[in-house]
Structure 1
Amino acid sequence: MKTLTFLLAIMLFCITCFAQQNDNIFSSFERAKLHPLTFDKPAIDFFEGALLGNGAMGAVVTTRPDGIMIYFGHNNVWDIRLAEDNKEALGTFEYVFNKVKAIPDTLRLLTDDPWYSKYSKMAAENYRKPYPRPFPCGSVLLGFDRRNAEMLGHKLDISNGLCEVYLLTNEKEKITLQIFTDMLQDKLWMQLVDKNGKLCESIFDRVKVMPDPSTPKEFPQYTTQEDLEKGLIAFRQVMPYQEPEDYNLEKGHHNDKAFSLTVQFNSSLEKTNRIDWNGNLQEMALMEGSFVNKNNFIGCILLTEGLNSKVPKMSAVDNLPSQSALKKSFENGTKIWKEYWNKSGVSLSDSFLERTWYHNLYFFNCAVKKGVSTPGLFANWSFNDIGTAWHGDYHMNYNTQQPFWLPFSTNHLEKNLSYVELIEFLMDVSQKWAKEYYNLPGAYFPHSAYPVDMTMNPYPVPHWGWEIFETPWAVQGLWWHYLYSKDIDFLRDRAYFPIKAAVEFLVAYMKRPEARGEQWKDNNYHVFPAIPPELYALRPGFKYNYDCTMDLTLTKFIFKAFRNATTDLGIQDEEKDLLADIEDILNNFPDYPTAITPDNKEVLVSVPEEHSQVVYNVPNALATVFPGEDYGLHSDQETMNLLKNTFSNRQNEGGNDIVFYNLQAARIGLLDLERFKRQINYSLMPNGTASDRVMQVHGRYRDQTNYGFMDRMGVWFENFALPVVINECLMQSYNGTIRLFPNWPLDKDAEFHNLRAVGAFLVSASLKDSKVSEIEIFSEAGSTLKLVLPWENCTMKNSKGKTILKSKLVKISTQKGETLKFEAK
């Protein structure tokens, strides 16, 4: 019988032969194989373990000297209880605004005012509850006697998600436990093989299934199931819909959810006993058993989740886990992984950056899948309190958006559908909040949100809940999806309505009497009040609370996107009134705020009246570059000088900048790749993911701050976007013009294929010996191609033949489905 090891060798041989037949093609699947994640000793800590996942279910495989522990989580499994108290006491925006306006501007902080202090505490009461949050799905231990085997370490093959745990028997034989997740079902498979890849005698003497220790005492008691003859152990946990004071433990609620974790082996189980440390006989407890058959070892772990009424009360068993079923699952999964990898790829002379690219694309695929809940801050890996900080929720002031910067240039638009589904889910509560709290049309997207039923803004505290820029930022990814796909049906059916709702709110907000008039001493429409991300909060006298750079640039972005959307959909006449309001505002739009540095240079800052030496958390100063995309390499020289001055002057405290900060730098061609690599290395966890780590003081942090205090909060989903920084060094297209290697050293060889560009172009190019060789561009939608060529003269080949081009900037009409090749003449 063929084993996983043998199958893998055959597949890799075929891939290598194919690659050798065509020198212009490299397989990303093959490149990924070159970058395994290895650990050469027991990985006892959660953050040392191998991360597995299928986009819905996540698993962390840890090892210890006497066993293997696997922790389970799932994007759909949450503590879904939600507090929505104080609805009436919150009042309306107008009520709170007038109260704040009356507070003397001589106070140091708004919370020094008794009314506001009391109000803000009341408004935060719901968020201070420990729920909602991701809920861990339990763990499974496979134990062995150290007298029989020694734990050596593990290796994770990111090309196909196969984790191999290495053990050494007393006979000095190396044996391997192979573990992988099914990519179509929420299952984890495992088998124990010898050095030849054949099933071997099992060294495991017990299995133990454990519900998560953080399970609240007020939850219904989990139920268990044991069928020792069939090698099965399971538990089932109900997730209450209501808060404890409202929940009836006996009757439950029709919206309750549940999950079950079922472990089954190809061997019967039995209860055994041992003498404990005190000399007493200790029998195996519930959900623990010993293996009867030691001839071979195959196991399967199934995670089932959904409404309580839909999750079976008992686990049904049709067949014992078999090698044929395991083999089929692995073959299907390998095919899915291969399709995933070969959508795009990079081959870089810089092995660290190439490894970073492939590792984070692997993690991203493990964590995201359309049709299940969009991952929160820490995705689908959790245990105990790991993954619960800030409720593990959706923070709409960068955290939620950042990982979904990745799908566009990497040509994984299918992954962005998870984000689209989140925005669609949030539409009801966002429209309701705009209407009932602001008394304005459209939609106001909340600062924080959860994948649970919500009827109000979960975090209505003004000092962060009034971040206006979060509304255009929330829908930006929908417009990008259209720009990079040119899918007019997507624009019409899924993107247009949320974008229009955001625009309606922003127009109405900027046209309020408080946002324009004589008090401003100009004729502009202002974003007021407003709060820069992660900075100042709401201030007495509204100092630093208007025309924030992030508000201005994202509002301008989404206004222009809406205008272009109506043109592409041919509905300008239907939307003429809203379009007229947009033009009026854009013609009377505030300037981006600037300040003068101590060495007399003008720089961009986050908000008017701010000095030039502020230490930011979110890199606000260059928001016009990204996410605003108003400035960049296309800008005039005066603007580029402003951007360069701002870049050299800015300070960021860390925590929220490993992707964001460096992406901005790449967009203007100023990213120091060696420094970028050092920051990644500084932030790396043992499992290969990048943590959010502090970089400096003088912002929120102090000299005695633990610079790694966020390391153990969870696996930071947002930092899986690291490959997009590398992509922007290799190819940029944000304004519709493709630029090749704009931030890549010419003396470092690099090759990429099928990076996706605005206009639905798939771009491939290589840089070798300091020269760009052949460029290949596939036109998916037949858009007009705008390209900056690296040569003065070149030959273009397409379906019509050859054309000589004598300009670096070319504009070419393309046909849907055609390929264009460019070579130096």
Structure 2
Amino acid sequence: MSGNETKNVRLELDWERFMADNDMEWVVKPVSWDEGAFIGNGLIGAMIYGEENAKKRNVLRFVTGRTDVTTTRTDGPGFRPRVPVGELDLELEGMIYHPTSMRLDLWNAELRAVLTTTRGEVRVRAFVHSEAEVMAVELETTEGEEGAHLAWYANSEVDPVLKHADGINSNQYIPEEEVDKTTGKDGISFSIQRYAPNEGCVAAWKEVRASGGRRSIWYVSIANGHDKKAKAQAAAAVKNASESDFGAWIDAHRQWWHRYYRQSFVSIPDGRLESFYWIQMYKLASATRADRPLIDNQGPWLAPTPWPGIWFNMNVQMSYSPVYTANRLEIGESLVRALDENKEHLIGNVPERFRHDSAGLGRNSSYDLKSEVNDEVGNLAWICHNVWRHYRYAMDDEMLRNVLYPILRRSMNYYFHLLEEEGDGRLHLPPTISPEYGSFTRTKVRDCHYDLALIRWGCETLLAISERLGEADPTCWKWLHVLDRLAPLPVDETGFMIGRDTPLAYGHRHFSHLLAVFPLHLIGCDREEDRELIATSLRHWIGKEGDLRGFSLTGAASIAATLGWGNEALRLLQALLLIVKPNTMYKEAGPVIETPLAGAEAIHDMLLQSWGGTIRIFPAVPDEWRDATFHDLRAEGAFLVSAVRRDGITRFIRVRSLAGEPCIVRTGWTGVVRWRKAGTAVAETLVDVGTQEGDIAVDLQKGEEAILYPDGELPDLRIRSVSPSGRPVRYFGGHKPWRLYGFPFCEAGN
């Protein structure tokens, strides 16, 4: 193999062109939150759509939010809910008519629109700057629309025709607000909104007109609070942006997004799912950043909802689930930081008699994580699993020692206070809640699967952490004792049960009774009896259709992928696409953000899995995906992995070690496999994996990478996008079902 030391894997991709086919597009004006265009920078965001009521048909709304604007309820106890801020309205001379078009450019993270009205035309460009707390809206008008203008309305000032377009949620707390509008120096205007003496927000804006009068740019910022400091913060953001060179300012915004997208690459032959995937990557970075509040149920796009906060019995966990494999760990930093900064509140969430050694997290809270633990006990432990994943994909021992270890230890200690030894010598749990099962009757079950699985995972993980850090924890005997004596997970002929004496008897939308399978992976598929148990449980759960939701399908798809059932996982995700909204958002009784993001994680699970110390390449690719490729996806142990599948065969795998951890790769190949360290003259290694699943141990030091391929010539190491025929380009945005099938009478030759 002389000379091969110079050959390395490389991605050959025109990113802008590739991403353009995945953009969201509207061929008519969107008229609801369900199909609006969304922009955001992890703190400030806007959902952009209009209204069909004749009184407001001349308006395009930028319904604006800032995630950390909350208030204290005056109608009873509860966490501090998020509250609507207001909106920037583009008010046109004429009614928005046809042909009108909008497009969300994912690559540049900006909206561009051409609005045709009964009077003329207005061109719009809008984005929330990636590095400044400012939304910019650029307008260019033709004759007849010279009077088109933007106006800011605090939430209480919004016309009822617009405010109620998405319905009214009677469960949502909307505070009374006092609004003062003023104009300060430098031409900056303010809307100061007060909910309480120390609660409110400030909107600041400035219009900059270009010479000629038909082009203008509005700069808008929202600050949390209503005092002089908040006003000065908003004013400074607007001043700095409006006085910057606009072209350079846009370039800085775009460069951030271009760096973000390039962290990893995925291409699959299902055009709809590929576009869906990349929109979720855009949504993640629009919803949070490393230094921003963690992802709540809505992201920056608050709408009428009964859930104006953070839910911990699934929502947060699923929202963050795709960041790890996608190699976008900085997005996950917002969750790690939230736990670290609120440790004392986590301790205060448990009864006082347990606070000396315990911590917990109830079902929902505001960003301070104040939420008393009642009968739903395991939420903090499940959140810790996300942080453990963050650690395993980064191998950051400092974060492990200072953040995860003390919090996970306290979450387990709370469980230990609840465990009771019974006559069989086993440790059992009193009645607790399995999330979402029998919610309306507040069903509680003994030896709940949800809790038993989390206890077992938590104890095993604490032992692994102690060994990793080389610290002999004086309480490790408890972890060993509990693992030895803990009651087994309840099982019957239908598979895993909700809890002891409680089978899955009716429709259940949550996979809380399958947590040991996914995402904890306490039970794998290497033993046939385990595979059969997982398969039986999955079939029984999904067969009870009564209460299935979108997130049921994402969980089921990931479990199917764990079993290697690619065809079934694909069907579940295709069913999901019938449930998500045209703009890939999701709604039940109100908008929630987690389900589509978990759909992106299910796609990862079809392409790459790395639980249990083994990196699995294309573990659940459906039969129809003859071609697929990914580059720099991340695996446990801090590995960057790339692979190319062509004509139904994996052509090569590249693994790069970022931490020097042990590396076992399940290739799926049989027979002789070759591997060599890239960029070196080290002789290649030949391994005969026989007829097994192709597990290969690869010895890599930190910074080294290996290329693996079936016996024969070194394959082409270029990574390119998959180009399926007949893909529905820009399917998402406005509702466009015809793009799945095309117009047969418009085909060439007809």
TM tier, shorter chain?
0.7 to 0.9
Residue number in structure 2 paired with 1:224: 181
Q: Which of residues 71, 92, 108 in structure 2 aligns to 1:160?
A: 108
Q: CA deviation at 1:592?
A: 1.3
Q: Which of residues 188, 202, 205 in structure 1 aligns to 2:148?
A: 205
Alignment of 1:12-411 (within 5 A): 24-26=11-13, 30-63=17-50, 65-81=57-73, 126-127=77-78, 132-146=80-94, 152-168=100-116, 176-193=123-140, 203-213=146-156, 219=176, 221-226=178-183, 232-240=188-196, 252=197, 256-267=198-209, 294-306=213-225, 308=227, 310-312=229-231, 316=235, 325-383=245-303, 386=304, 388-390=305-307, 392-411=308-327
Q: CA deviation at 1:768?
A: 0.6
Question: Given the superposition, is the C-alpha separation of residues 819 and 529 from structure 1 closer, same or farther in structure 2, using an over 3 Å criterion?
Answer: same
Alignment of 1:752-763 (within 5 A): 752-763=630-641
Identity of aligned residues (%): 19
Cα distance per residue 1:395-422 (max 9 Å; x no partner): 2211121111111111111111111122
Q: Which of residues 337, 343, 362 in structure 2 aligns to 1:427?
A: 343
Distance in 2 between residues matched to 1:719 and 1:38, nearest whole Å: 18
Q: CA deviation at 1:563?
A: 0.5
Q: Which of residues 569, 572, 575 in structure 2 aligns to 1:679?
A: 575
Distance in 2 between residues matched to 1:563 and 1:606, nearest whole Å: 27
Residue number in structure 1 paired with 2:516: 624
Distance in 1 between residues matched to 2:91 and 2:119, nearest whole Å: 19
Letter in 2 for 1:297: S
The question of whether the paired residues in 2 share the 8 Å contact of 1:192 and 1:200 is answered with no
Q: CA deviation at 1:631?
A: 1.4
The question of whether the paired residues in 2 share the 8 Å contact of 1:202 and 1:296 is answered with no
The question of whether the paired residues in 2 share the 8 Å contact of 1:78 and 1:134 is answered with yes
Q: Which of residues 668, 678, 688 in structure 1 aligns to 2:563?
A: 668
Letter in 2 for 1:325: D
Q: Which of residues 714, 729, 748 in structure 1 aligns to 2:606?
A: 729
Q: Is 1:812 aligned to 2:732, yes or no?
A: no
SS at match of 2:148: strand
The question of whether the paired residues in 2 share the 8 Å contact of 1:622 and 1:664 is answered with no
Q: Which of residues 675, 684, 693 in structure 2 aligns to 1:796?
A: 675
Question: Given the superposition, is the C-alpha separation of residues 324 and 168 from structure 1 closer, same or farther in structure 2, using an over 3 Å criterion?
Answer: farther
Letter in 2 for 1:499: L
Moved more, 432-441 or 727-736: 432-441
SS at match of 2:585: coil
Distance in 1 between residues matched to 2:272 and 2:497, nearest whole Å: 33
Residue number in structure 2 paired with 1:643: 534
Residue number in structure 1 paired with 2:501: 609
Residue number in structure 2 paired with 1:528: 430
Residue number in structure 2 paired with 1:288: none
Q: CA deviation at 1:29?
A: 5.7
Question: Given the superposition, is the C-alpha separation of residues 437 and 33 from structure 1 closer, same or farther in structure 2, using an over 3 Å criterion?
Answer: farther
Q: CA deviation at 1:469?
A: 2.0
Question: Given the superposition, is the C-alpha separation of residues 77 and 750 from structure 1 closer, same or farther in structure 2, using an over 3 Å criterion?
Answer: same
Question: Given the superposition, is the C-alpha separation of residues 321 and 489 from structure 1 closer, same or farther in structure 2, using an over 3 Å criterion?
Answer: closer
Q: Which of residues 638, 657, 676 in structure 1 aligns to 2:552?
A: 657
SS at match of 1:764: strand
Question: Given the superposition, is the C-alpha separation of residues 389 and 544 from structure 1 closer, same or farther in structure 2, using an over 3 Å criterion?
Answer: closer
Distance in 2 between residues matched to 1:644 and 1:673, nearest whole Å: 13
SS at match of 1:466: coil
Q: CA deviation at 1:168?
A: 3.6
Residue number in structure 1 paired with 2:717: none
TM-score (norm 2): 0.83
The question of whether the paired residues in 2 share the 8 Å contact of 1:76 and 1:372 is answered with no
Question: Given the superposition, is the C-alpha separation of residues 425 and 660 from structure 1 closer, same or farther in structure 2, using an over 3 Å criterion?
Answer: farther
Letter in 2 for 1:516: E
Letter in 2 for 1:328: A
Higher RCO (CA < 8 A, seq sep 6+):
2
Question: Given the superposition, is the C-alpha separation of residues 193 and 222 from structure 1 closer, same or farther in structure 2, using an over 3 Å criterion?
Answer: closer
Distance in 1 between residues matched to 2:461 and 2:40, nearest whole Å: 35
Q: Is 1:481 aligned to 2:390, yes or no?
A: yes
Q: Mind listing any 5+ residue stretches in structure 2 that lack a counterpart?
A: 1-7, 52-56, 159-172, 712-750
Distance in 2 between residues matched to 1:190 and 1:410, nearest whole Å: 31
Q: CA deviation at 1:488?
A: 1.1
Residue number in structure 1 paired with 2:621: 744
Letter in 2 for 1:189: A
TM-score (norm 1): 0.76
Q: CA deviation at 1:218?
A: 6.7
Cα distance per residue 1:480-534 (max 9 Å; x no partner): 1111111112212222211121122223332xxxx1133xxx1111122322111
Residue number in structure 2 paired with 1:594: 491
Q: Which of residues 517, 539, 552 in structure 1 aligns to 2:422?
A: 517
Question: Given the superposition, is the C-alpha separation of residues 584 and 321 from structure 1 closer, same or farther in structure 2, using an over 3 Å criterion?
Answer: closer
Q: Which of residues 445, 456, 463 in structure 2 aligns to 1:556?
A: 456
The question of whether the paired residues in 1 share the 8 Å contact of 2:640 and 2:657 is answered with yes
The question of whether the paired residues in 1 share the 8 Å contact of 2:96 and 2:115 is answered with no
The question of whether the paired residues in 2 share the 8 Å contact of 1:420 and 1:478 is answered with yes
SS at match of 1:346: strand
Cα distance per residue 1:268-297 (max 9 Å; x no partner): 9xxxxxxxxxxxxxxxxxxxxxxx973322
SS at match of 2:155: coil
Larger Rg: 1
The question of whether the paired residues in 2 share the 8 Å contact of 1:433 and 1:444 is answered with yes
Distance in 2 between residues matched to 1:784 and 1:617, nearest whole Å: 38
The question of whether the paired residues in 1 share the 8 Å contact of 2:186 and 2:239 is answered with no
Distance in 1 between residues matched to 2:254 and 2:609, nearest whole Å: 31
Q: Is 1:494 aligned to 2:414, yes or no?
A: no
The question of whether the paired residues in 1 share the 8 Å contact of 2:93 and 2:144 is answered with no
The question of whether the paired residues in 1 share the 8 Å contact of 2:194 and 2:226 is answered with no
Question: Given the superposition, is the C-alpha separation of residues 610 and 314 from structure 1 closer, same or farther in structure 2, using an over 3 Å criterion?
Answer: closer
Q: Mind listing any 5+ residue stretches in structure 1 that lack a counterpart?
A: 1-20, 84-124, 241-251, 269-291, 598-602, 693-709
Q: CA deviation at 1:325?
A: 3.1
Give RMSD over aligned pairs: 3.1
Residue number in structure 1 paired with 2:468: 568
The question of whether the paired residues in 1 share the 8 Å contact of 2:362 and 2:377 is answered with no
Q: CA deviation at 1:147?
A: 7.8
Q: CA deviation at 1:663?
A: 1.8
SS at match of 1:142: strand
Residue number in structure 1 paired with 2:746: none
Alignment of 1:705-720 (within 5 A): 710=589, 713-720=590-597
Residue number in structure 2 paired with 1:766: 644
Distance in 2 between residues matched to 1:210 and 1:544, nearest whole Å: 46
Cα distance per residue 1:413-439 (max 9 Å; x no partner): 111111112222442232123351657
Residue number in structure 2 paired with 1:545: 445
Distance in 1 between residues matched to 2:707 and 2:476, nearest whole Å: 40
Distance in 2 between residues matched to 1:148 and 1:29, nearest whole Å: 30
Residue number in structure 1 paired with 2:728: none
Q: CA deviation at 1:30?
A: 4.7
Q: CA deviation at 1:570?
A: 0.5
